[in-house]
Amino acid sequence: DKDVLEVHDLHVTFRTEGGLVPAVDGIDFSVAPGKTLAIVGESGSGKSVSSAAVMGLLPSNAEMKGEVLLSGRELTGLSKDELRKVRGNDIALVFQDALSALNPYYTVGWQVAEAYRLHHDVSKKEAHKRAVRMLDLVGVPSADQRANSYPHEFSGGMRQRVVIAMALVNDPTVLIADEPTTALDVTVQAQIMRLLEDIQTEFGTALVLISHDLGVAAEVADDVLVMYAGRAAECGTVRDLFHRAAHPYSLGLLGATPRVDVPPKPRLTTIPGSPPSPGSITTGCPFQPRCAYTERVGERCITERPELTPRPGEGYHEAACHLGRRPQGVAL
């Protein structure tokens, strides 16, 4: 299938009192209908900023460069009004925090219906019927009655279902889910991820899943983009990442991910240190201060910025690391 969302050479910089702070430093990604791309990284990696940029939701002190194409249509030059028509309609976003996405003073049915009326010229009654159908679809029991409840009358998991119903009510081509399950307990997380998968199968939605957890990503993604300090560290299919990870940071994330289907590994429970702010490292590899493999490469890690280069894999597998061979020492 042809990609419905294409992002080319995306840069985002924030203007602050201390000067310009780059947050995203030239990334590319794309996703096809019915497919899931996971963008994975620690907080501060630029993954959420990237999704905000795609949605046209960057704060006013942000500057963005690059190309965002939705079904072949360039979004970057659109006016605020034009963007409003696209957002929530062709491309929708689910946040981590369902409570802040919902208005406590209105019933959930009303809120889902209003999200529909924002983009469709229909009667309130018709919109309400559509809302009830969506609430039912995302697994809210007795949706026709629960539509009249307020957000605080729902559990965290049910509220996240309501938010998903709201995001899907206009049948978007692309759904961006930014840490959609982080606030929920583990069983509910699994249910919500399954729901997103079911919806995708049924509607052919392209899904961009933003996550700090490579394990969650592996469950649902087709392709993975690993971000570090505003750049791509590695990208490829899920299998490329799990069986042929070529970047030490990806290996670290894999080691830091508890998984039930893989025996525990003796090394790397967490990656020591924390990521630099994007832009603070202008030469060399941004991962260098934390990298366990840098001695094998030497000076080059400090003097020369590694660019994405193709790796053997089944998909479009690339990594930005000077190590010639796949780092050894982790059995997957």
Query: Strands 206-211, 223-228: parallel, antiparallel or unpaired by DSSP?
Result: unpaired
Please, which residue, 198 or 304, has the CB nearer to ligand SF4? Answer: 304
Q: Is 294 in the site for ligand SF4 (CB under 6 A)?
A: yes
**Residue 295 and residue 8: Cα distance in Å, rounded?**
33
**Residue 65 and residue 326: Cα distance in Å, rounded?**
33
What are the tokens at 11?
């840069």
Cα distance between the two ends of the chain = 31
Site for Mg ion in 27-66 (CB under 5 A): 48
Q: Tell me, what amino acid is at 181?
A: T
Please, which residue, 154 or 293, has the CB nearer to ligand SF4? Answer: 293
Of all residues in this chain, which one has the CB nearest to Mg ion in the complex?
Answer: 48
Question: How many residues lie near Mg ion (CB under 5 A)?
Answer: 1
Q: Is 39 in the site for ligand SF4 (CB under 6 A)?
A: no
What are the tokens at 267?
């090394």
**Other C-beta atoms within 10 Å of 267: how many?**
11
With CB under 6 A as the contact rule, the residue among 12, 220, 238, 301 that binds ligand SF4 is 301
Phi, psi of 195 (to 5 degrees): -60, -45
Quickly tell me which residue has 């050894």 as its tokens: 328
Please, which residue, 206 or 320, has the CB nearer to ligand SF4? Answer: 320
Binding mask 246-285 for ligand SF4 (x = CB under 6 A): -xx------------------------------------x
Residue 163: name its binding partner from ligand SF4, Mg ion, none (Cβ under 5 to 8 Å by kind). Answer: none
What is the rounded (10 degree) CA torsion for 279, 281, 286, 289? -140
Please, which residue, 48 or 89, has the CB nearer to Mg ion? Answer: 48
Which residues, other chains included, contact 328 with Cβ-Cβ below 8 Å and sequence gap of 6+? none
Site for ligand SF4 in 310-329 (CB under 6 A): 321-323
Residue 321: name its binding partner from Mg ion, ligand SF4, none (Cβ under 5 to 8 Å by kind). Answer: ligand SF4
Residue 48: name its binding partner from ligand SF4, Mg ion, none (Cβ under 5 to 8 Å by kind). Answer: Mg ion
Please, which residue, 18 or 312, has the CB nearer to ligand SF4? Answer: 312
Residue 248: name its binding partner from Mg ion, ligand SF4, none (Cβ under 5 to 8 Å by kind). Answer: ligand SF4
Q: How far is the CB of 48 from ligand SF4 (least distance, A)?
A: 23
Spell out a b/e string for 299-325, using b for 16 or more CB atoms within 10 Å of the CB, else e.
Answer: eebeeeebebeebebeeebbbbbbbee
Q: How far is the CB of 45 from ligand SF4 (least distance, A)?
A: 14
**Residue 302 and residue 313: Cα distance in Å, rounded?**
27
**Residue 294 and residue 247: Cα distance in Å, rounded?**
11
Residue 291: name its binding partner from Mg ion, ligand SF4, none (Cβ under 5 to 8 Å by kind). Answer: ligand SF4
What are the tokens at 264?
């525990």
- Give the binding site for ligand SF4 (CB under 6 A): 247-248, 285, 287-288, 291, 293-294, 297, 301, 306, 321-323
- Give the binding site for Mg ion (CB under 5 A): 48
